[in-house]
Structure 1
Amino acid sequence: MQQPNDPSLENWHDYEVQSQREIVALLRGIRDKNQLVRMLINGEADVCVTSVLDVDPDTRTVLLDWSVDREQNRRAIAAKRVRCETFLDKIRILFDAAPLTEAQYKGSPCLRMDVPETLIRLQRREYYRMPTPVSNPIKVVIPLPEELGGGTQSFPLADISVGGIAILDNNKALGETIGVDFPNCRLELPEVGPVITTLQVRNLMDMTLLNNKTNRRLGCQFINISRGNLANVQKYITKLERERNARLSGLA
């Protein structure tokens, strides 16, 4: 998916869904609940409202409702960039639709697109990510499987939420491990205590720094985290929020 031009999605890779099965399920949910879809043609200047008519995982096609404006349909088909935005169960969903072609659905014209390779599922507010300290970074210790060399390795956090963490893997020690579970990971949260949980790598992004060095950022989800550990995560996030608010008000 192209990088969204949206300040609220600064860490959009953290919310990217890459599983085709999950993407199809989300699109079918949008269809079944008759959710309206806002379609942006080459940006905000040309917008129409559509809906998902059908999703076929076998042919990897999605059918969208035809705009009442024929000229707008022509522009959508000709556009190099078409982005769709909608909501499912109060969660914001974004996906790219281009290229679009004309098709038929139950005898009426419609727009056809491929099932997107990825989409963004922007979690509810409780999954808001808080940046962690840079000067004295929080570390997570991850036991590595034998195929990655075994032993344990420590990684600095970039941010944290009650849904998971983002870590920096400068040496690419975790490799291309999207979808892989790492059990018994240990987070040491200052003034709160340790958190032990399984982490699943959900996405990765290689970033080029100003000095031309690369850094790998991995978005990780907590898997089957216990209530006690989740409570500690929430306490730490609350602590970070208090500190940030104090800085903004000039009290710290």
Structure 2
Amino acid sequence: MPELPEMENYKVLLNERIAGQEITEVQLNREKSININPAIFIKTVLNQKVLNVNRQGKHLLFQLQNGQTLLLHLMLGGWMFYGTEADKPKRTVQVRLSFGPNHLYFIGLRLGYLHLHSQSDVEKELEHLGPDPLALDFTLKDFLNKISKKHGRLKTTLLNQEFIAGIGNCYSAEICFHARILPTKDIDDINETELGQLFHSMKIVLQDALKHGGYLENPLYDGDHLTGGFYPRRQVYDREGETCKRCGDKITMETISSRKTFYCPNCQK
């Protein structure tokens, strides 16, 4: 599932390509991917300029000229491609927004969605989200205050979008590895020094992932060499049985709350 770095990467690249551009055609191949009557959806979106694309947590917000917002959550398996019909991947497309000869394809929206909302409704939809971990005003003091109210396993807390928005299965594992803390550890057993390291590791790992385009394998457009650049830089995520790059031990996988959790039993204490 795309997480904060992947969605931020999409945001930056999409703003470079469609900000200020008019939606010239709307194609809906799966009505369940939207939230209102298809005819109303098309009428509201068609011929509107995309003023900009913003991100909140794992969501993208396409701000339209008429004040409406397209709210995207890719969920598990969702991704996008921007280009001409000739460049389009041979995958099933749920929604297509056209910008003249170029199109933005929404692919793999089996669980994901592209919903149309007013600004006030978008705020209600996202009001449950916690702070953005890369926000400049999200400080160590804020983090320690929030996590002091939490109990249970660290992994579960990091995945809680009401706690912090944007961290999922991949980066929770990478952050814990960087901080040398077991994701299976109970929060009550982690001291303040370790929590401080966890906070700094969160910033470092997410910024590094963003710098390298996240871990998704599918490029956004033909010639996109940034997207997916973080995948070979993974330290533990999806590396069960492989050698730890830090100590040489074997990476372990354990299931926590139905989620695969990867860590080094030697490096992380």
Compare the two structures and name the one with the higher helix fraction.
2
Compare the two structures and name the one with the higher strand fraction.
1
Q: TM-score range by the shorter chain?
A: under 0.3
Output the TM-score relative to the length of structure 1.
Answer: 0.27
Output the TM-score relative to the length of structure 2.
Answer: 0.26
